[in-house]
Amino acid sequence: MAARPPVPTLTKLTCVLLVYVKLTTQVTPPPCNPGDNLYAPVFINSEVQQTIPETLPIDASVATLSASDKDTLCNFGSLTYSITGDGSAASYFGIEKDTGIVSLKTSLTNTSIVDFTVRIEVQDGSSPPWSSTALLYLKITRNFERPVWSSARYATNIPETAPVLENILSVTATDRDAQPPNNEVTYELVGNAVQLYYFEIVSSTGDIRPRRPLTSDTNRRSQFDFVVIARDQGSPPLTAAINASVTISVFRNNNAPRFIQDPYSITVAQGLGSGTVISVRAVDDDPSTEFNQISYSIEGPANALTLFTIDGSGNIQPTNPAAINSASETNYKIYVRAEDNGIPKLYDIVLVELTINRNLNPPIFNPVTYEETILETRPFGDVALRVTASDADNLVCGCC
Ligand SMILES: [Ca+2]
Ligand SMILES: [Ca+2]
Ligand SMILES: [Ca+2]
Ligand SMILES: [Ca+2]
């Protein structure tokens, strides 16, 4: 610490006081002349629009309206902000006097006012002050209405082959609030883990669609039940008064085609044409056309595939009648398949036995009358008479 200075004499003290007075006179600012306040404050934006939710918390910032003043002398450039109107705006909003930050000071849930005009004044530091005014237009978003379902129940039937991620059903709820997000509805599908494994909802549209192939469901469930929650995007959000129910029925390829007769057999005469030899028919008990449409084909064996064809109605026809007619074969086995249009296809196979009757003609005596006179002494065993007959069949059938 510095040592204390010696006490000055009276003459020296007088001198020191004179010096002090002189210095003080030099740092005192000149008096402020109102004529030096050359500029008025100017807002950067004199009109500002802002949308805020009615649930905005107290003290939350709403907007900032800044102004500037080019004056540098005295306090002619220092600014003070205040709210001067309009209506009840000053009751709900306050402004930070040094910064122009507008914030909420009373909850907006206490009023139904939708639009506020906040009139803001800024003054400089002169007397009287120069000022400017700006307007802050505030729109209050309010969530008054709940979503309302167009229908409380939804149901649809789909095949198990319904394509993945393609819409099968749409649920719809509307919200009468005037402004988004209070009238924007989203949807949530609620179900158990298995149900939600196979189906999903597009939250923004309400479209419901399979997430996975329903054919992969080894339990082959035929019905899925859900509820859907409709929720708006207000703050806080509101949900529909009830949840909608959704039932999705899945019809499956549960039945294979079956032939109405088993086996089929027919005997036809040699000399086939190209027309139908025999018709077969199968039925499919599935109720839906997705799974009960039947197509026929020849399964085998090899000669049947070569010699016969079958049309969509189950009519079997020879592809080369001449080859069949000239052959010696009398019995043909034809295995016919009937399959449906499921995925995978289900089928039945039946045996068709086709017998060709190649012995079309009886022997005919020619001539049919014989007359012969023989001696009574004709030896035993001697030819007495020869009769002749012919057969128009032209094939020698070893097995006949
Ligand atoms: Ca000024
Ligand atoms: Ca709403
Ligand atoms: Ca079927
Ligand atoms: Ca014959």
> Residue 201: which domain range?
148-251
Q: Please give the distance, rounded to the nearest whole angstrom, from the Cα atom of residue 35 to the centre of ligand 1.
A: 10
The last residue of a domain, from among 251, 267, 292: 251
Residue 373, in any domain of the structure: no
Residue 11, in any domain of the structure: no
The last residue of a domain, from among 251, 285, 316: 251
Do 127 and 171 fall into the same domain?
Answer: no
Residue 347, in any domain of the structure: yes
Do 178 and 117 fall into the same domain?
Answer: no
Q: Please give the distance, rounded to the nearest whole angstrom, from the Cα atom of residue 125 to the centre of ligand 1.
A: 7
Q: Which chain residues have CB less than 5 Å from ligand 4, an ion?
A: 359, 361, 391, 393
Do 98 and 117 fall into the same domain?
Answer: yes
Residue 281, in any domain of the structure: yes
Do 244 and 338 fall into the same domain?
Answer: no
Residue 394, in any domain of the structure: no
Residue 206, in any domain of the structure: yes
Ligand nearest to the CA of 362: 4
pLDDT in the model for residue 20: 47
Q: What is the mean pLDDT of each run of 10 residues along the chain (400 residues)?
A: 40 44 56 89 96 91 97 94 94 96 93 92 95 96 92 96 96 91 95 96 98 94 97 93 97 95 94 93 93 96 96 96 90 97 93 91 91 88 89 60
Q: Please give the distance, rounded to the nearest whole angstrom, from the Cα atom of residue 346 to the centre of ligand 3.
A: 6
Residue 245, in any domain of the structure: yes
Do 275 and 322 fall into the same domain?
Answer: yes
pLDDT in the model for residue 170: 98
The last residue of a domain, from among 251, 272, 305: 251
Count of domains observed in the chain = 3
Ligand nearest to the CA of 360: 4
Q: Please give the distance, rounded to the nearest whole angstrom, from the Cα atom of residue 136 to the centre of ligand 2.
A: 26
Query: Contact at 8 Å (CB) between 183 and 240?
Result: no
Do 136 and 160 fall into the same domain?
Answer: no
Do 126 and 163 fall into the same domain?
Answer: no
Do 316 and 342 fall into the same domain?
Answer: yes
Do 194 and 101 fall into the same domain?
Answer: no
Q: Please give the distance, rounded to the nearest whole angstrom, from the Cα atom of residue 135 to the centre of ligand 1.
A: 20
pLDDT in the model for residue 235: 80
Do 51 and 133 fall into the same domain?
Answer: yes
Do 157 and 128 fall into the same domain?
Answer: no
Q: Please give the distance, rounded to the nearest whole angstrom, from the Cα atom of residue 348 to the centre of ligand 3.
A: 10
Q: Please give the distance, rounded to the nearest whole angstrom, from the Cα atom of residue 260 to the centre of ligand 1.
A: 105
CATH number at residue 277: 2.60.40.60
Residue 12, in any domain of the structure: no
Ligand nearest to the CA of 339: 3
Do 243 and 272 fall into the same domain?
Answer: no
Ligand nearest to the CA of 160: 3
Ligand nearest to the CA of 148: 2
Q: Please give the distance, rounded to the nearest whole angstrom, from the Cα atom of residue 55 to the centre of ligand 2.
A: 13
Ligand nearest to the CA of 38: 1
